[in-house]
Each structure stands twice: as C-alpha cells, then as structure tokens.
C-alpha cells in the first residue's frame, strides 16, 4: 500500500500509485456493500465529524453512510446556520474542533483553499475535502474514476469529454487532474463564458462545438449548470444552452457507440442532459456513480484512519522513548 | 547642532551617478560635497561630527508614495509613530499618506488632524494626499482648494475607482483649475470586482476568482482620455501589466502630463508566489505573470514607469488569517522597500542611480517636494546603506504594528545603516 498522506485535500498532491491504491480498496468496499456485509470494525471507536459550510445533502449523506458502514461514530454539523453565522472565523472553528478531538473531519466550504487552511490548524485528525470553492472535490473525482474503471475496464488511454460549466466547477478541476495523471486524453466542451482562463495550458483540448468535441470519445462527463448562471450573464437562456450543449441522442451519436454518460448530480433534466439519456441503462452510469461514491469515501477514510493510527503509535513510542531517556539520565 | 560629515561613502545621485566622496550636513541641509581626494579625512574634518561611510552607499532619502497609516481610524494597524519608525528603518525619509482612512481624509479638518498627529509623532516627513471625492464614494468632489491649502500634495480615492465618468471628469476639470495633482487607480471596476488573482492557469488551479490583465488597460485608457479632455496633471498609482505600457508611452508622446508608479511587490514577485493560498501575497491589483513582472522591471529601467513605491498597507493578523478570497488585501512595505528594490540592482536590471531616481527623485519632483538629489543646498534627507549586506527577513522584527509582509523568511541583500531627515539622524547611530 503506497498511500501515506495525512489528509485528502485534493487530487493535485496524489500520485498515480495513491490513486490506484484508493480505487483498489474502494473496489473491495463496493463488493462488500453489494454483498451486504461491510467491515463494520474498520473505523470502530473513531469519531467522524461532517462540517458543511455549504449545504449538500447528497455528498454529506454519502460521507455519513461511508463512515457508518465502517463503524465510525458520525456527527453532522450544519455550519451554514451555526456559529459561523455569528461571526466565528475558520481558525476559531479549528480550535474548537481540536478541543472536541475528532478523528476524521469531512469539510465542505465555499472558499477555495479554506479546507487547506483548516487542515493546517487542526491537530491529530485527518481532514477530507468534500469540496472547497472552485478548487477541488477529490472524492468526486475518485468516484468518477472508479466508475469509469469498472465500466471501461481501465483508467488510461481513454478519450474523455467534460462538458458544461467548467469555470465554476471544482468537480471538473479534480477530474482534470486525476484523469490527466492517469494518462487519458481530455476534451473540454462548453461556451467560452463557462471555460476557466488558462485552461488550454493544462494539456486538454477545448471545443465550443459539442458534436466536434464528442467525436469518438469513450466517456462523456456532464456537469451541472447552476441556476444562477442561467440568467443571461453567462449564457442567454436555458433553451439555447440545451440546444447547443445539452446532451441528447443526436449529440451522443458522435461519441463511441459504447461510450458511457456520467453526471455528478443533481441533474437539470432538459438543461444539460436529456432525460431519456440520463435514464438509459445501457449508456448512463449515473446511479453507479452514487454507489461508488460511498465505496470511495469508505476507502479514503480507511486509509487516512490507518495513517492516523500509525502516527499516534509513533507519537506514543516517541513519548515513551523520551520518558525512558529522562529516567535513564 | 554640530555639523556632520559622512566620510568615504559612495554617493548615489540620481542625475550625476555614483562617485566616492564626503558629504557635509549643516542646518538640516547638505552644505557641501567633497569629491576631491582628501588624505586623512578624519584629521582634516576633526571639527565635525563624523560618520564612517566607507564601504557604504549614501543616497537621497526615499519618498514613498501611497503609504496607508491608520490615523484616523485604525491606529491598531499602524500609527504615525510606528509608520515613522518603520520608514526610518527602511531609509524612507518622506511618506506620502493615502486618504483611505476611517473617516476618509476628505475635509481640511481631518487633514489637519492627520498633519498634527504626524508633526507630533512621526520622525520622517509626512505629506498627506486627500480624497478626490467625499467619502471616496465617487459622487461629489472634495474641497480641493481648501485641502490643497491645508497641505494635501495630491488627490486620490486610494484603491477605489471613480466609476461615474461624469463625476470623475468634473472633478478632474476642477482639479486642473487648481493645478492639483490627481492620483488614479486604474482598473475597470466591474471586471476586477471580486477578483483576487490574475487570469491564468494558476488562478484556475487554485480555484480563485480572477481578472484579466487587460482590465488595467481599460481603466488606463479611460483615465488617459480624461486627462486629454481635462488637461489634469495625472499620476497612475500602479501600472502592473505589460499591455498597459504602450498606452502610457503614447499618452506621453502626445504631450499629456501623466506619470506612473509601480509597487515593489509587482517588481519582485509574481502570481505563483501565492502558492497554497498565502494571504500575505494577496495584493491590489493581484500579482501578475512573470512576463508582466519582467516588463515592469524593464519599464522602470527605461523610464516609462517613473516611481517605485511600497503601497504600504498594514493589515492585522485577524484580517489575513482567513480563506484567501475573504482575507484583506495589501502588504506592508516601508522596511522592505529598499532591500526588495535592490534585487533589481543585484539582478543587473537597474543601476543604483536609476533606482534612486524612481525611489526618491521622481516622486519628489512630481509632488513638488524638495529633495531627491545629493547636492549642496538640498535638504539633508539621506539614507546610508550597505547594498550587499545579506539577511533573512524575520517579520517579527518589523517596526510596523502590522507585519503582513510577503518577504517573511526571504533572503535579502541591503541593510540601512543610517537615515537622516532634515539633518537629524532618525535611524542608526550607536546601535547600527
């Protein structure tokens, strides 16, 4: 096992070996989940706190389920309407948490880099980034990778299109990093107002025409278009967006015949994806993504908890050695 | 007070270049400069108080244009006393303060308070700027004549753009009739609103809202057109992007009375220095690409940019210990201006004379202040420094009340050994 990190803050710092280790373990959890006997002792005795400064029912539920399946004591803190609203800073929140002594901390925050900042300030605790601003959402990229690997049998030398609002998407950034590290060809498709600056320098091809962009791809990843972007500021209207960039059968016909369709959810049917495509069990793996989400989060927490315990044992023995040295002196 | 002589220093004059000699201070002014070889100067000048300058450089004191001091309103971040001590330690002999205080320096009464506090507490010269519009709100012009008579050397809304072009044009027209100098911050406001980084792959990877570098040129284009329209004397506080420079050159060629500055941070740091959301590198405008940085260095060397300043912006720990987007913007710079700027000399981009033209002479001239020269009769505002002395900056040693420097832990070269303001030694001496 090669995974040695203390926290899971982003894909950027993971090596391809780390990614494979995580996915292999997640694969076994996916199987045990299906069989109905997940290993309930893996996180037994550990406390997991989910801190969501930004509301997200789905991701929070997935982390909660993952923790509970492995036997952790899970607690949800709805930060969006708590002390933060009373003006508490992130640093003070971290200090408060240190006093509560959680083992696993799952954090979502609306500011890029905020989870990183929190991770620097908490002690003796593994932090998992559940999405920070427009920066990263590593477990989403991992679950997407696992879904692709299971559907296509490999996670390299695939042609993968990411379509939609890439500018505001942390999911897109983490996926770009992960799929790039694993050696895939990446295509970004969207209107120029929804593509982030400098993206062409990151080794992907950019398309504004969806039919061209989808030509011959193995995987089509759709992104959610936030309601607040549809007001004429970024795109003129929902219907024009669907006409140009909504995934329907005609556009999908340009991809490989066995190309899979993905979406991180929640979907806007009729805006970025046609309902019949989303429901087509031969093409859509959207439900598998949700299932793999739990498995990947179980794997991430298991590996981080193992590293945490190892650090604690080392810390104890260091304390012990110091005591011995003091006694012998 | 006895006359003082600084013996054997390399004298850096922005116009005359560098030469070795002795400089005599009398009654707050430079009395004489002796460049002919003097055998045994200690004996020859024994009647004077002597300072050994051998192996050191002596230059006209720095005029730092655009210093924020928290008086009134934020003395916990920086007082005139602490700013003065920081300035003296940095070889800065004149600070030109910004009006973005709380309340804003937009009436003669508040300006007088500021000036009185400066007189009482600050060891270096203070020349305040006043706001161009009341409350810096961009709606009504301030009492430019009263403020000028009360001592305002220039008019500026700080880092805020007057968005309403009609209001701005009228204020500039009025300022023109008073002969007032206006300092503009050029950014297209709606493009730069909310942005904390410069467009590019780095900002995208870090997930930070970013602004295109051309937002600066759009702002500059408007202000240059208004300068042409009104004939106002205009100074641009900071030019930080390569693509704005040709506009500046063209405006000068067309005869407009326009000058420009750049902060030392934009000359020595680039966007990548932000690293993992390090908020001490959050500046306004945001740090730029390396290409832009090099273009700014070149522009200082060829004179397109006239002034190097620190844009000293003190922020307390609490306002910086936040996620990057929410953290306060700005960096302190009074004490690091000289060693940071010396990087450009050590890197072979500027001579010491060129550097002090941008640090001392040009800002003094543009603001109508004495100083900026090493010549007989000039005020004895001087900085004696060792340009090669290496050190590692520890921000805890800064004299500013706020220590939000991007150079914490940086290896720097160049230490100030003595600072004189009007012939009085305000830094160095027995302890240096």
Q: Which residues contact B238 (CB under 8 A, 6 or more apart)?
A: B185, B260, B261, B262, B263, B266, B285, B309, B311
pLDDT score for A81: 66
**What pTM did the predictor assign?**
0.91
* B432 has a pLDDT exceeding 60: no
Chain B residues in contact with A170 (beta carbon < 8 A)? 207
Chain B residues in contact with A132 (beta carbon < 8 A)? 207
pLDDT score for A325: 61
Scanning every residue of chain B, which has its alpha carbon at the shortest distance from the alpha carbon of A121? B321
The string of DSSP codes covering B82-112 is: HHHHHHHHTTEEEEEE-S-SSS-S-SHHHHH
Which of A125-134, B108-117, B370-379, B423-432 is the least confident region? B423-432
Contact A265, A286 (CB under 8 A): yes
Q: Would an 8 Å CB–CB cutoff place A180 in contact with chain B?
A: no
Q: Which residues contact B14 (CB under 8 A, 6 or more apart)?
A: B60, B353, B354, B356, B357, B360, B361, B362, B372, B373
Please tell me the distance from the alpha carbon of residue A136 to that of residue A130, in angstroms, as a whole number.
Answer: 8
Short-list A102, A96, A55, CA closest to A74:
A102
Name the minimum distance, in Å, from the CA of B215 to any CA of chain A.
14
Please tell me the distance from the alpha carbon of residue B247 to that of residue B252, in angstroms, as a whole number.
Answer: 9
**Segment B381-404 mean pLDDT:** 97
* A127 has a pLDDT exceeding 70: yes
Strands (E), B257-327: 258-263, 307-309
Chain A residues in contact with B209 (beta carbon < 8 A)? 134
pLDDT tier at A222, thresholds 50, 70, 90: very high
Q: Would an 8 Å CB–CB cutoff place A198 in contact with chain B?
A: yes
pLDDT score for B98: 97
Please tell me the distance from the alpha carbon of residue A248 to that of residue B128, in angstroms, as a whole number.
Answer: 64
From chain B, which residues contact A within 8 Å (Cβ)?
A: 199-210, 212, 276-277, 318, 321-326
Chain B residues in contact with A133 (beta carbon < 8 A)? 207-208, 323, 325
Helix (H) or strand (E) holding A210: helix A210-214
pLDDT score for A203: 84
Name the minimum distance, in Å, from the CA of B238 to any CA of chain A.
24
Chain A residues in contact with B322 (beta carbon < 8 A)? 89-90, 117
pLDDT score for A14: 97
Residue range B312-330, pLDDT digits in tens: 999 999 999 999 999 999 9
Q: Would an 8 Å CB–CB cutoff place A202 in contact with chain B?
A: yes
Q: Which residues contact A90 (CB under 8 A, 6 or more apart)?
A: A109, A114, A117, A118, A121, B322, B323
Short-list B21, B25, B24, CA closest to B11:
B21
Please tell me the distance from the alpha carbon of residue A148 to that of residue A161, in angstroms, as a whole number.
Answer: 12
Residue range A270-305, pLDDT digits in tens: 899 999 999 999 999 999 999 999 999 999 999 999
* B216 has a pLDDT exceeding 80: yes
Domains of chain B with CATH codes: 4-58+380-389+411-431 (2.30.40.10), 61-367 (3.20.20.140)
Chain A residues in contact with B207 (beta carbon < 8 A)? 112-113, 132-136, 170, 173
Contact B412, B390 (CB under 8 A): yes
Q: Which residues contact B370 (CB under 8 A, 6 or more apart)?
A: B364, B378, B379
Residue range B366-388, pLDDT digits in tens: 999 999 999 999 999 999 999 99
Short-list B58, B55, B13, B90, CA closest to B338:
B90
**Segment B11-16 mean pLDDT:** 95
Q: Does A112 contact B277 at a Cβ distance shorter than 8 Å?
A: yes
* B93 has a pLDDT exceeding 80: yes
Angle at B263 between CA B15 and CA B239, to 5 degrees: 90
Q: Would an 8 Å CB–CB cutoff place A92 in contact with chain B?
A: no
Residue whose pair of structure tokens reads 């011995």 in the numeric block: A324
pLDDT tier at A85, thresholds 50, 70, 90: low
DSSP secondary structure code for residue A168 in this structure: T
Q: Would an 8 Å CB–CB cutoff place A274 in contact with chain B?
A: no
**Segment A61-87 mean pLDDT:** 85
Please tell me the distance from the alpha carbon of residue A68 to that of residue B142, in angstroms, as a whole number.
Answer: 64
Chain B residues in contact with A117 (beta carbon < 8 A)? 277, 322-323
Q: Would an 8 Å CB–CB cutoff place A192 in contact with chain B?
A: no
Distances (CA, A) of B403 to A150, B95, B430: 53, 18, 26
* A233 has a pLDDT exceeding 80: yes
pLDDT score for B416: 98
Q: Does B207 contact A12 at a Cβ distance shorter than 8 Å?
A: no
Please tell me the distance from the alpha carbon of residue A199 to that of residue A202, in angstroms, as a whole number.
Answer: 5
């Amino acid at each position: 096992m090669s995974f040695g990190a203390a926290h899971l803050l982003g894909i950027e710092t993971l090596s391809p070996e780390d990614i494979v280790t995580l996915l292999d373990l997640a694969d076994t959890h996916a199987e045990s989940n299906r069989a109905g006997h997940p290993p309930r002792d893996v996180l037994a005795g550990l406390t997991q706190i989910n801190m969501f400064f930004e509301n997200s029912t789905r991701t929070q539920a997935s982390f909660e389920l993952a923790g509970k399946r492995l036997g952790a004591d899970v607690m949800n803190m709805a930060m969006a309407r708590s002390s933060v609203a009373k003006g508490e800073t992130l640093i003070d929140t971290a200090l408060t948490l240190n006093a509560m002594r959680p083992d696993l901390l799952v954090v979502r925050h609306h500011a890029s880099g905020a989870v990183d900042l929190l991770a620097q300030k908490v002690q003796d605790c593994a932090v998992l980034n559940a999405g920070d601003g427009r920066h990263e959402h590593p477990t989403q990229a991992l679950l997407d990778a696992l879904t692709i690997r299971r559907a296509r049998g490999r996670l390299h030398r695939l042609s993968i299109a990411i379509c939609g609002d890439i500018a505001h998407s942390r999911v897109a950034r983490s996926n770009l990093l992960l799929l790039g590290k694993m050696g895939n060809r990446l295509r970004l498709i969207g209107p120029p107002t929804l593509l982030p600056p400098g993206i062409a320098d990151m080794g992907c091809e950019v398309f504004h025409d969806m039919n061209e962009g989808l030509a011959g791809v193995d995987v089509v990843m759709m992104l959610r278009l936030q309601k607040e972007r549809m007001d004429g500021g970024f795109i003129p209207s929902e219907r024009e967006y669907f006409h140009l960039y909504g995934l329907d059968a005609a556009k999908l016909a340009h991809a490989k015949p066995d190309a899979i369709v993905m979406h991180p959810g929640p979907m806007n049917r009729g805006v970025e994806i046609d309902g019949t495509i989303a429901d087509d069990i031969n093409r859509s793996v959207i439900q598998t993504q949700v299932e793999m989400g739990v498995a990947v989060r179980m794997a991430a927490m298991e590996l981080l908890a193992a590293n945490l315990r190892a650090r604690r044992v080392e810390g104890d023995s260091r304390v012990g050695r110091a005591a011995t040295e003091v006694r012998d002196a | 007070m006895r006359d003082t002589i600084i013996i054997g220093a390399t004298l850096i004059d922005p116009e005359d270049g560098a030469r070795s000699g002795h400089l005599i201070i009398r009654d707050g002014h430079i009395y004489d400069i002796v460049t002919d070889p003097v055998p045994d100067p200690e004996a020859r000048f024994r009647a004077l108080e002597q300072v050994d300058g051998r192996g050191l450089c002596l230059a006209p004191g720095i005029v730092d244009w655009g210093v924020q001091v928290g008086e009134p309103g934020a003395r916990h971040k920086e007082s005139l006393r602490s700013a003065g001590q920081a300035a003296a330690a940095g070889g800065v002999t004149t600070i030109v303060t910004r009006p973005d205080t709380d309340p804003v320096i937009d009436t003669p009464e508040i300006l007088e308070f500021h000036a009185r506090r400066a007189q009482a507490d600050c060891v270096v010269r203070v020349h305040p700027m006043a706001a161009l519009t009341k409350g810096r709100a961009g709606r009504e012009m301030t009492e430019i004549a009263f403020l000028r008579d009360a001592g305002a050397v220039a008019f500026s809304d700080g880092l805020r753009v007057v968005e309403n072009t009609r209001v701005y044009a009228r204020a500039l027209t009025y300022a023109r009739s008073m002969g007032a100098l206006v300092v503009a911050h050029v950014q297209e406001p709606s493009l730069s609103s909310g942005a904390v980084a410069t467009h590019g792959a780095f900002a995208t990877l870090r997930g930070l809202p970013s602004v295109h570098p051309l937002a600066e040129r759009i702002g500059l284009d408007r202000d240059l057109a208004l300068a042409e329209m009104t004939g106002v004397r205009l100074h641009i506080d900071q030019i930080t992007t390569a693509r704005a420079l040709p506009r500046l050159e063209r405006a000068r060629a067309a005869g407009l009375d326009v000058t420009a500055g750049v902060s030392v941070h934009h000359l020595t740091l680039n966007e990548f220095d932000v690293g993992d959301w390090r908020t001490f590198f959050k500046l306004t405008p945001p740090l730029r690409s390396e290409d832009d940085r090099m273009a700014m260095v070149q522009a200082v060397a060829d004179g397109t940019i006239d002034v190097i300043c620190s844009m000293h912006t003190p922020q307390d720990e609490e306002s910086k210990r936040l996620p990057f987007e929410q953290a306060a913007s700005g960096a302190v710079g009074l004490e690091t201006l000289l060693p940071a700027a010396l990087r450009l000399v050590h890197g072979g981009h500027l001579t010491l004379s060129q550097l002090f033209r941008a640090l001392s002479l040009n800002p003094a001239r543009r603001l109508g202040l004495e100083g900026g020269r090493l010549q007989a009769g000039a005020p004895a505002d001087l900085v004696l420094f060792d340009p090669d002395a290496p050190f590692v900056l520890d921000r805890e040693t800064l004299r500013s009340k706020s220590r939000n420097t991007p150079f914490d832990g940086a290896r720097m070269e160049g230490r100030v050994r003595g600072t004189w303001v009007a012939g009085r030694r305000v830094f160095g001496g027995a302890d240096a």
